[in-house]
């Protein structure tokens, strides 16, 4: 009987001790949870302004379409294909702050409403824009005016050695500077994505016959610095020429999604 009473007493004490032990920890965890929740909530607040509502899209798109279609006769304007218009309007919801992509979507919608051009608008175009960043849009816009553009590869070889080579620079071009891309270090990443989307093609066995097309590349500070470096490191280099060009699909995409503008200064001097 005494043992039974003792057991009952212990069973009453243990939950109380356990509750007292974990209460401070639970309180701290709860406070941490509240802090994280507030931080997350604060970080998400700007999305209310960035993600457009239907009426905001309509107001913006009307202004853009009026400008892009002002020279089209009224009988050439048609209702756009829902397969084009639907994804395009959805994509516009998330590009309020990205001018280049917003312009692409608006141009695409305008062309889908033009009876003469609409047959050239591929249903995949809205989804392709969705997979681009603004920097890649700048590259495509430049290529739509100046295609193809020169690029070079450089391989480094140890002198007096049978060892292999290592790529020091691959697909090096001035395209990021010429298209005003802000992050030049990511130029190859942007090119890889454009290749993945079948918009551009890198050609290594097809190059310009006139050497002047490569002179700005070879005389760039990056290449001059590399040549000086190989002299100091007892290595030599091999330079191969090629070009970056739009694919047939890429040309059609640019025709439908990039508005032609006056480009007064394509030959930009680089340091």
Q: Would you kindly state where each structural domain of the chain is located, as residue ranges?
A: 2-45, 56-130, 141-257
Residue 117 near residue 256, CB atoms below 8 Å: yes
Average pLDDT of 30-41? Answer: 60
Name the band, by pLDDT with cuts 50, 70 and 90, for residue 19.
Answer: low
pLDDT confidence of residue 148? 87
Average pLDDT of 182-197? Answer: 93
A 10 A CB-CB count for 169 gives: 18
Choice between 16 and 208, residue whose per-residue pLDDT is larger: 208
A 10 A CB-CB count for 126 gives: 25
Tokens for 195, please give them.
Answer: 């290749």
Lowest-confidence range among 18-27, 97-106, 211-220?
18-27
pLDDT confidence of residue 47? 45
In CATH, which of 3.40.1440, 1.20.120, 3.40.630, 3.30.110 is domain 141-257? 3.30.110
Task: Specify the DSSP element, H or E, that contains 20.
Answer: helix 2-44
Residue in this structure with the two tokens 């212990």, named with its chain if needed: 10
pLDDT confidence of residue 266? 42
pLDDT confidence of residue 146? 85
- Verdict on whether the full-model pTM lies above 0.75: no
Measured between alpha carbons, how far is 29 from 3 in angstroms, rounded to an integer? 39
The answer on pLDDT for 175 being more than 80 is yes
- State which of 56-60, 70-74, 131-135 shows the largest mean pLDDT: 131-135
The answer on pLDDT for 81 being more than 60 is yes
Q: Provide the phi-psi class of 81: left if phi over 0, else alpha when psi is between -120 and 50, else beta.
A: beta
- Please provide the average confidence, as pLDDT, over all residues in the chain: 78
Contacts of 199 by beta carbon, 8 Å cutoff, 6+ apart: 128, 140, 246, 247, 249, 250, 253
């Amino acid at each position: 009987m005494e043992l039974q009473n003792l057991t009952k007493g212990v069973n009453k004490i243990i939950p109380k001790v356990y509750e007292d032990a974990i209460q401070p920890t639970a309180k701290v965890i709860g406070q941490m949870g509240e802090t994280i929740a507030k931080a997350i909530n604060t970080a998400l607040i700007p999305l209310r302004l960035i993600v457009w509502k239907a009426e905001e899209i309509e107001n913006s798109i009307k202004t853009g379409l009026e400008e892009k279609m002002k020279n089209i006769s009224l009988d050439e304007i048609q209702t756009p294909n829902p397969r084009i218009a639907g994804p395009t309007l959805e994509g516009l919801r998330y590009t309020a702050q990205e001018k280049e992509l917003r312009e692409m979507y608006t141009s695409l919608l305008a062309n889908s409403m033009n009876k003469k051009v609409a047959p050239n608008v591929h249903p995949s175009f809205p989804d392709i824009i969705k997979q681009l960043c603004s920097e890649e849009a700048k590259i495509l816009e430049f290529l739509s005016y100046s295609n193809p553009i020169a690029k070079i590869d450089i391989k480094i070889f140890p002198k007096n050695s049978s060892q292999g080579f290592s790529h020091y620079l691959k697909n090096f071009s001035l395209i990021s500077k010429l298209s005003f891309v802000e992050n030049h270090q990511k130029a190859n990443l942007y090119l890889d994505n454009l290749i993945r989307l079948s918009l551009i093609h890198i050609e290594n066995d097809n190059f310009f016959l006139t050497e002047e097309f490569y002179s700005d590349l070879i005389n760039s500070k990056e290449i001059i610095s590399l040549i000086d470096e190989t002299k100091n490191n007892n290595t030599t280099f091999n330079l191969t020429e090629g070009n970056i060009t739009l694919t047939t699909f890429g040309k059609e995409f640019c025709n439908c999604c990039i508005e032609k503008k006056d480009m007064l200064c394509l030959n930009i001097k680089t340091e």
